[in-house]
Amino acid sequence: MELKDIMAISGHSGLFKFISQGRHGIIVESLTDGKRNNINASAKVSSLTDIAIFTHDGEIAFKDVLKKIKETENGGAAISQKSDDKDLKKYFEKILPEYDRERVYTSDIKKVITWYNQLQSLNLLDIIEEKETPAEEVKEEAK
């Protein structure tokens, strides 16, 4: 499984694994309970690779934010998403000091922490490590 296969779906809690394309949308499987759902094509579905956090200089990829949390926590669980708003903001500032405080809301911080903790509890944090392919191998594969 790769990070691009993990989805966040508006209106549904938790993260989902992409299974396949359905007739009227996509078929996903919940990472927590393994139940499969058919998600309508009109639903707002985002791959975790498409998500970014606003910073003062632009954006930082969600994958990089997950890496920073993992480094800070040594692969362990992060602060609880149910913590006080002030504590969440202080924690996120420690992780990502350059985040844009005007455009990143507490609800966004809660989602990031919830998703990190979910991936950590399922031992899926290894998928955030990049699998870099040297340029020479890419050229050979293209032939």
- State which CATH number among 3.40.50.2300, 1.10.10.10, 2.60.120.260, 1.10.10.1650 fits the domain covering 52-128: 1.10.10.1650
How confident is the model over 99-138, as pLDDT tens digits? 999 999 999 999 999 999 999 988 888 877 765 444 444 4
How confident is the model over 41-66, as pLDDT tens digits? 888 999 999 999 999 999 999 999 99
- CA 115/CA 101 separation, integer angstroms: 20
pLDDT at 4: 86
Of 5, 2, 108, which Cα lies nearest the Cα of 47? 5
pLDDT at 91: 93
CATH topology of domain 3-48: SH3 type barrels. (2.30.30)
Contact 75, 120 (CB under 8 A): yes
pLDDT at 41: 87
In single-letter form, the type of residue at position 66 comes to L
pLDDT at 130: 60
